[in-house]
Amino acid sequence: MRVEVIMPKMGESLQEGTILKWHKKPGDKVQKDEILLEISTDKVDTEIPSPASGILAEILYKENETVAVGTIIAYIETEGSAVFETGEGKGVETKAEEKVVFEEKPYTGVEEIPARTKRFYSPVVREIAKREGISIEELEKIPGTGHGGRLTKNDLLNYIEMKKRKVEVKPKFEPVKEIEEVKLPEVKPVEEVYPEGKVEVIEMSHVVKAMAEHMVRSVRTSPHVSAISECDMTQIISFIERNADEFQKREGFKLTLTPFIADAVVKSLKEFPLINSSVQGDKIIVKKYINLGIAVATDYGLIVPVVKNADEKNFIGLARAINDIVMRARNKKLTPDDIQGGTFSITNYGVFGNIIGTPIINQPQVAILGVGAVKKRPVVLTKNGEDFIAIRSIAFLTLSFDHRIIDGALGGRFLERVVYYLENFDFKGVI
């Protein structure tokens, strides 16, 4: 029989995906669950396994084409089911099959619109058009960059942005010109010329492009302020060194600093719920649940998968959940739902030896914690009224926060609470 390969729905809010790479070509044998292709959404790159064993008979969409969810993108012939040519000109005889043609439905909007267009509009495009009040006539005139000229979500969003920029707001009263307006000469950007053969041009991956856009949007959205505190990690580092082998034998993965930090953050967020919120217009949305984003550096870029309902997990539950999402992130096994819905994020640049950083807030969150490298330092301690110098394992913690709703006092108190829980960690239940 002929098996359809469908563009999968990778998340509740995602309606399309871009084919990044086909791992097989027509005529190649493929096993069930073997990686067949890679796709990219607005959120993450994902490897898609083959739904059946057989031979890849036909590829309907090429690499870099964007396809709506639910669309057939390829066919796999199982043994003894169809006639097709391999790369060597050898065919497999099977029953001929009539090609099924899927009719694409036109955009309808809120009310009934005559189906006079043959152009396909995905559900997300229709929803955006409905929300922005764009008529079918206007929609038809927008150039599309998708397959066959299809209008993608990004095409529509770019059109809406350009349309808003062109709107002129006229003042109610003509301003009084006190001085003659001076027109500056137009300065054209200078295109840099590189020595021939001395540079390498690297195309951004979909993940890097998405992350770049996300970071720029975050800086434009939130006025960033950072607070930095010292944290004595001596007891935690000593505990990890003493119990690392036993923990790994029992759990099957290494005991690291990350779950300790996550546990301290969860306890602190419960005491300072405004840090676990987001901003919508002039409203503050305080979340009654804690979804922790954990920044992970991978071979294909930085990604922030989310530990859902972290407030409902004990230390071991957090450690297991963090290890699971980190491993799946590095092996490209995440789904878009795995990186959505975060309420607070943690990034540990200390693993690269950096001691201090000022991370960018992961929108629409309002704060992010950065963790520097743990270094042994001479520290002045006080005991029984006497000062003395001791060698302690110290890390610098940085909290970047959205100054629209979090002032320095709240941000500073929250950060010091995280420090308190780390320096006075309760190790019961860890081993």
- Which CATH number belongs to the domain containing residue 141 in this structure? 4.10.320
Phi, psi of 375 (to 5 degrees): -125, 145
Residue 384 and residue 251 share a domain: yes
Domain that holds residue 49: 2-77
pLDDT score for 118: 55
pLDDT score for 89: 38
Which residue stretches of 106-175 are H helix?
Answer: 123-132, 136-140, 153-166
Residue 348 and residue 409 share a domain: yes
Residue 131 and residue 42 share a domain: no
Task: Name the 3-class secondary structure at 124.
Answer: helix
- Does residue 131 fall inside a structural domain? yes
Residue 135 and residue 10 share a domain: no
* Cα angle for residues 219, 221, 227 (degrees, 5° grid): 55
CATH number, domain of 29, equals 2.40.50.100
- Does residue 144 fall inside a structural domain? yes
**CB atoms near residue 130 (< 10 Å):** 13
CATH number, domain of 229, equals 3.30.559.10
Secondary structure E strands in 127-258:
224-232
pLDDT score for 102: 34
pLDDT beyond 80 at 270? yes
pLDDT score for 123: 65
Alpha carbons 351 and 36: distance in angstroms, whole number: 34
Q: Which residues of 276-301 are buried (b: 16+ CB within 10 A; e: fewer)?
A: bbbbeeeeeeebeebbbbbbbeeeeb
Closest by CA to 427, choosing from 271, 252, 263, is 263
Alpha carbons 61 and 348: distance in angstroms, whole number: 39
The stretch 40-59 carries a mean pLDDT of 84
Residues marked active site are found at 403, 407
Among 56, 77, 98, the domain-final residue is 77
pLDDT score for 83: 41
Q: Is the dihedral of CA 239, 367, 271, 323 positive or negative?
A: negative
The stretch 376-382 carries a mean pLDDT of 95
- Does residue 172 fall inside a structural domain? no
Residue 322 and residue 235 share a domain: yes
Residue 355 and residue 250 share a domain: yes
Residue 348 and residue 288 share a domain: yes
- Does residue 155 fall inside a structural domain? yes
Report the percentage of the chain scoring pLDDT > 90.
Answer: 52
pLDDT score for 98: 37
Q: CA of 343: how far to CAs of 227, 276, 289, 421, in Å?
A: 19, 6, 8, 20
Lowest mean pLDDT among 88-97, 269-278, 367-376: 88-97
Closest by CA to 124, choosing from 10, 211, 279, 281, is 10
The helix or strand, by DSSP H or E, that contains position 307, with its residue range, turns out to be strand 306-307
- Does residue 94 fall inside a structural domain? no
Residue 38 and residue 132 share a domain: no
- Does residue 267 fall inside a structural domain? yes
Tens digits of residue pLDDT in 295-344? 999 887 889 999 999 999 999 999 999 999 999 999 988 888 898 999 99
The stretch 196-223 carries a mean pLDDT of 87
Residue 291 and residue 380 share a domain: yes
- Does residue 336 fall inside a structural domain? yes
pTM of the model: 0.65
Number of domains in the chain: 3
Residue 146 and residue 28 share a domain: no
Residue 256 and residue 342 share a domain: yes
Residue 280 and residue 135 share a domain: no
- Does residue 95 fall inside a structural domain? no
More confident residue, 37 or 113: 37
Tokens 């309606």 belong to residue: 15
